[in-house]
Structure 1
């Protein structure tokens, strides 16, 4: 447990931090980075200098950067992808709060490589790697409560996906961006965007990604109070999902979805609609939940609390909210904490 100053002292500290009269210690910097969803440089007001402007006639510097980018081989692109996968694994197990600086550095490296890559044979693989990394960074930013950062990362991911000519990556980034609109109180607009993502992907999408997009549409339709559309989207997700226990999509490594995951998603949707069947679906999902998906389990606990609240079963709701809070604190999820507080107010 981290010991902090009293409320009165903290007010003084904040005032002094804002006015530059007191430096932020590493102990408080660690707390504030996770709480505010910012990098260490942003917290301390340090502006990271952009790539140095080329001096007049500075062709040597330009050619050096171009040659460096040209040397990015498929092996190097695989290294970029492996780094994204590592960050995805840590995020899944421990949450996004501790990864902001690492993710920022990773994106900067990929953007630098793409900026100075010239030929399509080099640009497209790097752009594909950037699309995947930017979409992951966007979801992490949304979870950490940094909404504008999330939106900008999704835009970066979409541009990179277009550059790479990867409709699956473009569809995925577009659909996840719909959640930003939904969280911002624009669910109807979010429904339009997630459906546009399906059109973007078209026939190029894998069945697992199709199922993921339909499930996302169902969830957003539930928030938009469109129950009939919600049920149709869920049915489509069930129909196109490949059978078996496999979760990863080999063509889209950011997609994790099998029957167990979809059962949990269905329970989430039914809980939002106030459907009595939500409880049974959610307990089935809880029994088969992968312990590695810590943040997802926090969401599942929130869903169960919401389902029990709809049935006025307050003791059970309280139990799941307590477990959800522990998991949200463990991962530093601002998004889940916000939902937990909203549900707590209904007790």
Structure 2
């Protein structure tokens, strides 16, 4: 149990004492009985040193606090194989018959569950959703495993592609990078099974961010351009604009200023007019002029363009208040733009706000960026 718990705690820059306080706070909020502070200090130390096993009761609390799975908590990062071996042909045929009876209503229920988890993630962060997301993916994978005929498989695979992409982004946000990568691979396989090139393009493009965060920006540029190819000519205008905006950001992180500018121009040309942000063909895509203004400011800040500040403040004035976690990224963008101009007081204030939001939502990804930018001045 040593490495998983300690690694997750360290990723949040929590001391053992901070973890004890968070356990106590969680217990108060959920009306749970826990031992004294002194006893919890001993428990945490012994959990991390392998002298005490983490019970199911405490594992549930730690998963909610740290946004990690049981395998990650124990240090076994590879996803375990869930046995779906049927006990004889009768059992197997029973599962297949049950999957065959999955109706469009049931698929819509799966999609609604994904939408609820997406809304909760956007407003509260991903850390507390790990159990719900893991169960949701398990249900969808089980349904797809025993769905035989295309008319049943495709709708379920489409629902799984969307859910797995969301789960991957949530894992990336809480610092579980291997889980993120595996879930993107799951999303891509499901999109191919569903014959949905838009879902395949979206999952592939988001996967490029894993490479980018790992310091492999040139490889990420290649992957996101491949995502555009995979989407083909049938992509919605809003998804097309989203892909070009993502390409611009990743090109900026790769130091390709001219490519970044060209991708931004393509994004602005592709974006449909109007205030609507939701893509009816891709429910996971939110993009309107306000969002693109923020994204443009982010990319320009990365390449040191002076226009970044005005774009970012325009985005700040018009930001959707329900995008709580995204506001931490916007504050980091503003800090980066001010640092490039030598305006350190303004940068410091935005980083302070970003840190508060990252702590509130449990975003390891944003916290790392805050710490990186703080070291620059």
Normalised by the length of structure 1, the TM-score is 0.93
Cα 1:72/1:272, change in 2 over 3 Å? same
1:187·1:220 contact (CA, 8 Å) conserved in 2? yes
Q: How much does 1:15 deviate?
A: 3.9
1:24·1:44 contact (CA, 8 Å) conserved in 2? no
Question: Once the two structures are superposed, what CA deviation does each residue of 1:33-86 show, in whole Å capped at 9, x if it has no partner?
Answer: 543x4224753689978235334xx11101110011011000000000000000
Cα 1:311/1:45, change in 2 over 3 Å? closer
Query: How many angstroms apart in 1 are the aligned matches of 2:150 and 2:162?
Result: 18
Cα 1:234/1:6, change in 2 over 3 Å? farther
Tell me the secondary structure at the aligned position of residue 98 of structure 1. helix
1:218·1:269 contact (CA, 8 Å) conserved in 2? yes
Alignment equivalent of 1:13, drawn from 28, 40, 44: 44
Cα 1:237/1:109, change in 2 over 3 Å? same
> Partner of 2:100 in structure 1?
70
Alignment equivalent of 2:199, drawn from 154, 169, 192: 169
Tell me the secondary structure at the aligned position of residue 286 of structure 1. helix
Query: How many angstroms apart in 2 are the aligned matches of 1:271 and 1:25?
Result: 45
2:43·2:52 contact (CA, 8 Å) conserved in 1? no
1:29·1:43 contact (CA, 8 Å) conserved in 2? no
Tell me the secondary structure at the aligned position of residue 285 of structure 2. strand
Question: Once the two structures are superposed, what CA deviation does each residue of 1:154-177 show, in whole Å capped at 9, x if it has no partner?
Answer: 000000000000000000000000
1:33·1:40 contact (CA, 8 Å) conserved in 2? no
Matched, 1:87 2:117: yes
Query: How many angstroms apart in 2 are the aligned matches of 1:180 and 1:130?
Result: 20
Q: How much does 1:330 deviate?
A: 1.1
> Partner of 2:246 in structure 1?
216
Query: How many angstroms apart in 2 are the aligned matches of 1:158 and 1:118?
Result: 19
Query: How many angstroms apart in 1 are the aligned matches of 2:163 and 2:231?
Result: 19
Q: How much does 1:28 deviate?
A: 8.1
Q: Structure 1: give runs of 5+ residues left out of the alignment.
A: none
> Partner of 1:53 in structure 2?
85
Query: How many angstroms apart in 2 are the aligned matches of 1:22 and 1:113?
Result: 33
Query: How many angstroms apart in 1 are the aligned matches of 2:110 and 2:47?
Result: 41
Question: Once the two structures are superposed, what CA deviation does each residue of 1:112-139 show, in whole Å capped at 9, x if it has no partner?
Answer: 0000001000000000000000000000
> Partner of 2:17 in structure 1?
none
2:212·2:220 contact (CA, 8 Å) conserved in 1? yes
1:91·1:99 contact (CA, 8 Å) conserved in 2? yes
